[in-house]
Amino acid sequence: MLEKALNGGKSYWLWLAGLSAVIGLAFLVYMKQWTFGLGITGMHRDFTWGFYIAQFTFLVGVAAGGVMLVLPYYLHDYKAFGRITILGEFLAIGAVTMCLLFIVADMGQPTRAMNVIINATPYSMLFWDAFVLNGYLALNLIIGWKLLEAERNGVDAPKWVKPLIYLSIPWAFGIHTVTAFLYSGLPGRGFWLTAVLAPRFLASAFAAGPSFLMLLCFLVRRFTNFDPGEKAMKTLMKIITYALIANIFFFACEIFTAYYSQIPEHMAHINYLFGLGDHGHGVLVGWMWTSMALMIGAIILLVQPKIRNNEKYMPFLCLMVFFGTWIDKGMGMMAGGFVPSPLHHYNEYVPTAPELVITVGIWCVGFAVITVLYKIAVSIKEEIKA
Amino acid sequence: MKNRREFLKTAGATAVGVSALSGSAFAIGEYFISSKETKPHAEEKTATRWGMVINTKKLNEEVIHEITTACHTKHNVPDCMTFAEPKDPKRKKHHEIKWIWEEHYHNAFAPDVVEYLSKKLEHTPFLVLCNQCQNPPCVQACPTKATFKRPDGIVLMDFHRCIGCRFCMAACPYGSRSFNFQDPRNGLPDRLPTNPAFPTRMKGVVEKCNFCAERLAIGKKPYCEEVSKGAIITGDLGDEHSEIRKLLEENNAITRKSSLGTGPSVFYLV
């Protein structure tokens, strides 16, 4: 099936060449980080996870979001998703690939990555995160490949694939729950120390993942002869709507708990993010309010069936959801956790240019992986149709 | 690499062999004290929980300077302001490494600060460092056991095992850990250790106060205590007859963020 990735048109190769150029540049910048250290980033003693881990956290959500196709199709026999579950699985592969690369980019001693396996430490949440992410990657690779192969040959997939599919459903919830546990189990970090963090992560994932998938569906429809189907897309929009409402609801619960209890340690971080109080800091204030405006604005529009179901508006709505949740769960999650510091210092963080280039490079790797996988999937679907 | 491993293997075997007679060999990564050289402090032999009392009444700018300088020079802690990169002093500060340093009461004891504090306390400089927690969140977070707790209660780090994920830094509620954002030798005079007997670290690993474990192994007390003019007293909190326990019985002491259940082993007399 890999041969399908090798016979594309001019625009396909141009796109991949463009991505490779950016990846190459980012790799050169990464070499600078390799030799000098993480000091080329804007991170510091009080703000130890920055733009890389922000992307990582968000993308675990995108990867988990694929389950919003798999679950209705396999557990509820929702046929409309049948044609595009493969797109969800391949998106998950691209997203997890980016996650793993962001983790490596963030490591001070990347050559020691295998220490996590050699010295496996089950009481560390990071160990479990490495385990579930790699497991999820393997599951989606095997499932996606086998299903596509079967589809191409016009036969049923081998019997052993079914249990793996069923396993991949709770596993998707697992990857994002464990990612939330990285944060929510730390004493002294008021912003993260909340039981609602994992549910909130899942809610925003099930909005962000499907909205990214929707955008990809539009691209697929535009550049190929494959149509994901109107019904599937409308259902996805409905899922995005509910998930986004749940995300905002969970956030509102956070706001209530912090401000009604009036515990300074819990209010301080939200005050910082949204520019409330008199601490005199707030590089992210504009971003945070933008995020809120995008998400709440999207909800107002999405709850109206006429707007939600109109294909003309869908891409814009999905962009709103995507960027709103990207800020919220990316930099918002990092800055809220680290500022103010446990010693109540306000030491802010702004990513540096090299950091941004490396980040864009990793995104391009993800796009390249998704492009190639989608090319294979769509070519095979076109082949069957013909 | 091979040599070092074999050296440590032999050393380890020797240590097991003679530990009944004297102290065990002490090795953390490449830092090594042979069993012949180790003569643990009498207290170290039986200690189950090393702890520290900081008498803030005896702290002043001069003593604090002595303490931080002694600790940082003896442990080859770089001076971030001498880093060539980055150029901007504010960003140099981003790469700061500190094991023991001064903080204001409001920061050291945030969020449990008391209103209408006595004028004296308000202006007293506090020293903060790793609390050598009984229940350390950093040890729990570390995915490689590069941070671990010894039977004597000291939380130590293996700089050669650390992958630089900085999970421990997010986990520590006391901000006690620093990360080497660049080669720490960039901040040492002529790129040489200020104390050749102690290892320098490499870029990309986390570090923190080690309670002078290398000193306890040869029968000495931590550097900070030595130069503190009585402001710092260390001892075995696990021994109810120890000097440090007596001190705590007779004085009012506080610890940082005791409500978190980490069990700090650094106490402050105020």
Domain extents in chain A: 2-385
Percentage of chain B modeled with pLDDT above 70: 89
pLDDT tens digit sequence for B98-146: 999 999 999 999 888 888 878 877 888 899 999 999 999 999 999 999 9
Residue B76 in tokens? 């080859």
Residue B22 has pLDDT above 60, yes or no: no
Residue B99 in tokens? 């094991």
Phi then psi for B152, rounded to 5 degrees?
-85, 10
Angle, vertex CA A264, rays to CA A262 and CA A269, nearest 5: 110
- CA distances in angstroms from B205 to A329, B112, B168, listed in the order given: 27, 31, 11
Q: Give the Cα separation of B78 and B68 in Å (integer).
A: 12
Spatial neighbors of B266 by CB under 8 A, at least 6 apart, are: B51, B52, B53, B54, B129, B130, B131, B132, B255, B256
Choose the closest CB to B183 out of A37, A41, A127: A37
Where do we find the tokens 């009498």?
A: B42
Task: For residue B184, give the DSSP letter.
Answer: G
pLDDT mean across residues, chain B: 88
Instruction: Give span(s): CATH 3.30.70.20, chain B.
Output: 39-269
Instruction: Measure CA of the first residue to CA of the last residue in chain A; give whole Å.
Output: 17
ipTM: 0.92
Residue B13 has pLDDT above 60, yes or no: no
Q: pLDDT category, B270, cuts 50, 70, 90?
A: confident
Q: What local confidence, expressed as pLDDT, does residue B17 receive?
A: 39
Write down the pTM of the prediction: 0.93
- The CATH label, of 3.40.50.300, 1.25.40.10, 1.20.1630.10, 1.10.645.10, for the domain at A2-385 is 1.20.1630.10
Q: pLDDT category, B31, cuts 50, 70, 90?
A: low
Q: Kindly determine whether residue B180 and residue A126, on different chains, have CB atoms separated by under 8 Å.
A: no
Q: pLDDT category, B23, cuts 50, 70, 90?
A: low
Residue B15 has pLDDT above 80, yes or no: no
CATH of domain B39-269: 3.30.70.20
List all residues of chain A from 184 to 203 with a beta carbon under 8 Å from chain B. 186-189
List all residues of chain A from 239 to 278 with a beta carbon under 8 Å from chain B. 264-265
pLDDT: is A145 or B7 the higher one?
A145
Spatial neighbors of A243 by CB under 8 A, at least 6 apart, are: A68, A203, A204, A205, A206, A207, A210
Q: What local confidence, expressed as pLDDT, does residue B124 receive?
A: 84
List all residues of chain A from 97 to 116 with a beta carbon under 8 Å from chain B. 103, 106-110, 112-113, 115-116
Q: pLDDT category, B250, cuts 50, 70, 90?
A: very high
| Ranges of chain A whose pLDDT falls below 50 | none
